[in-house]
Amino acid sequence: MKFVLAATTALMLGGLSAIAQESGAQEAAGDLVIELKDGVVRVDLLDDVAPQHTQRLRDLATAGEYDNVAFHRVIDGFMAQTGDVEFGDLTDGYMAPRAGTGGSDLPNLPAEFSDVPFERGVVGMARSQDPNSANSQFFIMFDEGSFLNGQYTVVGRVTEGMDYVDAIKKGDQAANGSVDSPDRMISVRVE
């Protein structure tokens, strides 16, 4: 009887310890909070799906790298792309000719593809033709985009403020969504 009681107590304490550790990890991780001109967008970052990519977004947000960065490519009915910390933070009302081609000073990340589908509100990492080239740019889906499934890394989901994402200035369809005088992320923080 003593052995059963001791084993049960150990299991309970171990379980509580694991729950406390998990709770602490979730609390330390935090959501991405993006302030737009119309309001605040909250993104639940999916650490269990793409741990390296979610950590990159948190690191750049914490460093203030995403503040005032433009939505340089916005395609109505598809997605709004931002996060070019190299060329996307110009303040003179126009975009640099190379906007959307830059990244951060950090190395590119290896792909963390998953079975999470690209649906409305899903946040994915932008990349070049190389699957292992995601760096700082990300996009928010306006609508379903199943053709992206398994081809791009999913990092999160919008949990609040999708109507503010819908209001982001759209780009020119003929120019692959390029936006003149684009809307910007006023600030991005981890909360």
Give residue-wise pLDDT tens across range 60-111.
999 999 999 999 999 999 999 999 987 655 554 444 444 555 577 789 999 9
Q: What pLDDT does residue 106 have?
A: 85
Residue type, 101: T
Q: Does the pLDDT of residue 186 top 50, yes or no?
A: yes
The predicted-structure confidence for 23-59, as pLDDT tens digits, reads as follows 334 444 789 999 999 999 999 999 999 999 999 999 9
DSSP state string for 99-162: TTS---SSPPB-----S----TTEEEE---SSTT-B-S-EEEESS--GGGTTTS-EEEEEEE-H
Query: Is the C-alpha dihedral spanning 84, 89, 93, 94 positive or negative?
Result: negative
By CB atoms closer than 10 A (0-12, 13-18, 19+), residue 6 is: exposed
- pLDDT cut 90: percent of the chain above it: 67
Q: Is 164 helix (H, G, I), strand (E, B) or coil?
A: helix
Check residue 100 and give its pLDDT: 54
Predicted pLDDT of residue 99:
53
pTM of the model: 0.81
Distances (CA, A) of 63 to 22, 24, 53, 96, 186: 25, 22, 15, 22, 14
- Computed over every residue of the chain, the mean pLDDT equals 83
pLDDT(18) > 50: no
Compute the average pLDDT of residues 9-28: 40
Q: What is the DSSP letter of 78?
A: T
According to the model, what pLDDT value does residue 24 have?
39
The tokens for 81 are 């792309």
Is residue 35 within 8 A of residue 188, CB to CB? The reply is: yes
What's the average model confidence in pLDDT over 148-170? 98
Can you give the pLDDT at residue 154? 98
Q: Which of 73, 70, 38 is nearest to 162 (CA)?
A: 38
pLDDT at 86: 76
In the predicted structure, residue 185 carries a pLDDT above the cut 50 = yes
Pairing of strands 154-160, 79-82: unpaired
Contact 67, 186 (CB under 8 A): yes
